[in-house]
Amino acid sequence: MAMSRPSTARVREINQAVDDLVRGEAAWAACDLAERRRLLERTHAATAEHAEAWVRAAVAYKKLPQDSPLVGEEWITGPYPVLTSLGALAASVAALEGSRSPVDGYSFGRAPGGRVAVRVLPHSIWDRLLLNGFRAEVWMPPGVTEETVRSRAGLALRHPARTNGVGVVLGAGNITSVPILDVLYELYANNRVVALKLNPVTDGLFEIFSQVLAPLIGLGAVRILTGGADVGTYLVHHPEVAHVHMTGSAATHDAIVFGTGEEGAARKKTGRPLLDKPVTSELGGVSPTIVLPGDWSEADLRYQAEHIATQKLHNGGYNCVASQVVVLSSDWAQKGRFLGHLRAALSNAPVRPAYYPGSDDRVARALESYADAENIGAGRVLIKSLDPAHPGPALEGEYFAPVLAVLELPGSPRQFLDDAVRAANESFAGTLGANLIAHPRTVASLGPALDDAIAALRYGTVALNAWTGVGYLTATATWGAYPGHSLDDVQSGIGVVHNALLLDRPERTVVRGPFRPAPRAIAHGELVMSPRPPWFVTNRTADTTGRLLAGFAAAPRWSALPRIFASALRG
């Protein structure tokens, strides 16, 4: 394959950036833990200072009205997780400074199969107040002991002077925190200096990201580049680059690793990569939402329909972990009513432009592929009933567009759950995230069988009565595909990111949330204070709540809580 080559001026720019990083690696190696913590603190301050400009730039390229509640998405998935991750990483570095483990102070539990589970949410008093009712654990593989978790937490920071060369991060174009979080993980977990190549969709963030990362850029540990596929191709093949991390699609991954066309396909088939260096990745997939049958109230049906509409339509549907297939029991007596609420929730969600390249074509292909696919308005497609024997492209790859399909399987809750898990593992492309929704009475009746089903799901994040996106927003959780994929069968990627506790080789994150929001939950005897989450596409005050949450992450304080609670309750 002939490698696409940038212009001479661009080649000089790339070579200069890599040369800077080769020299910067020595400066990074010379930084002790205390200095690395101070760099995180300075980056935290820079993020807080430029958060407003960051959100304005994201709103501009996503073509959102400035007064839309959807602007809250940009606060909550842009500056907010970067601020919380910087704080959590700084705490881990401080623990290592004091010859402690980053997991000291965190509680441990047990998960099916003898797994050790690190309870990462809630941890602080702020977690218990702001995310009341939400929990998250990081499960380690079977056989890993608590002592092993403690002794290995810290990853490459346990030996900060042993750096690992120059890494390339190929940034995402959808969620604006992804490139920054990936850079931080390369630096702090893997001890590599980083060349960040922005996705062209996010070029408008170049100046802001340069200001946010200024402390690390000034040291020589980070450089930021713009440009198209030619720049990315030249950069990843640069002889001084030791490692590549990318966020995107499996198709883009294969083009980078094996090349394109017939030659690329042949390389993949024979397992002979064109790229002769390690590659890690976070890719998308067919993220299922499994809805367990039960006896739900009308309010429950409506709320969970809005929940799934959020899983699909958040960020316009351009999320690697956007739900693509809803798995329902064909024997559920309330199936018809639920589907009616789901169609209404999808149809009535706020209209937004299709900002991501190729979206309209992918929507058109979905409509052409299925006779019962319905355009329900605003470019949204509902495929009402997949044939389990011949489900077609909805299970074979990620649409990365506002397309949602329904797959029905027969059976009582237990049999249905077993069959749904089997289908998700064996028939759905990708392993990034899976969601389950179950009434509290169903959860109680299933007992340990539900935890066993969660353990059986081969996904990097599994969420019960929550969206897996909560795992993305939890700095101390892990984010990535289920472990075990290879370059020639990459599925949803290789490796993890985020992971601010710097856990060694985690298996997955498991998130649990409340089935109902407050105050309705309290009326049903559930001690849950969280109202409708601000990431819901139906939340009317998401913009205000998102801004306030980012401000709180910049400077946690008791005095900020009343305004956050008041805004959240109005949502």
pLDDT tens for residues 480-523?
999 999 999 999 999 999 999 999 999 999 999 999 999 998 88
Residue pLDDT, tens place only, 401-434: 999 999 999 988 999 999 999 999 999 999 999 9
Residue with the two structure tokens 């309330």: 334
One-character DSSP codes across 113-128: GGEEEEEEES-SHHHH
> Going by DSSP bridges, is the β-strand pair 493-494/496-498 parallel, antiparallel, or unpaired?
unpaired
Q: What is the pLDDT, as a whole number, of residue 3?
A: 56
Rounded CA Rg of the chain:
23
- State pLDDT tens for residues 514-527: 999 999 988 888 88
DSSP label at residue 202: G
Per domain, the residue ranges of the chain are 8-62+93-102+157-248+250-283, 287-491+498-523
Would you say domain 287-491+498-523 falls under CATH 2.60.40.1180?
no
d(Cα 44, Cα 79) in Å, to the nearest integer? 10
Percent above pLDDT 90 for the chain = 94
Per this entry, what is the length of the chain?
Answer: 571
Arithmetic mean of pLDDT, 28-49: 98
As beta bridge partners, residue 139 has 117, 508
Distances (CA, A) of 504 to 82, 104, 200, 394: 21, 15, 33, 34
Dihedral pair phi/psi, residue 369, rounded to 5°: -80, -25
Task: List the beta strands (DSSP E) in 67-162.
Answer: 107-111, 115-121, 135-139
Other C-beta atoms closer than 10 Å to the C-beta of 390 total 6
Residue 525: per-residue pLDDT: 83
Phi, psi of 212 (to 5 degrees): -65, -40
Q: Is 112 in contact with 452 (CB distance < 8 Å)?
A: yes
- According to CATH, the superfamily of the domain at 8-62+93-102+157-248+250-283 is Aldehyde Dehydrogenase; Chain A, domain 1 (3.40.605.10)
Cβ atoms of 465 and 512 within 8 Å: the answer is: yes
Q: Is the pTM of this model over 0.95?
A: yes
Supply the pLDDT for residue 1: 40
C-alpha–C-alpha distance, residues 58 and 201, integer Å: 10
In three-state secondary structure terms, 61 is helix
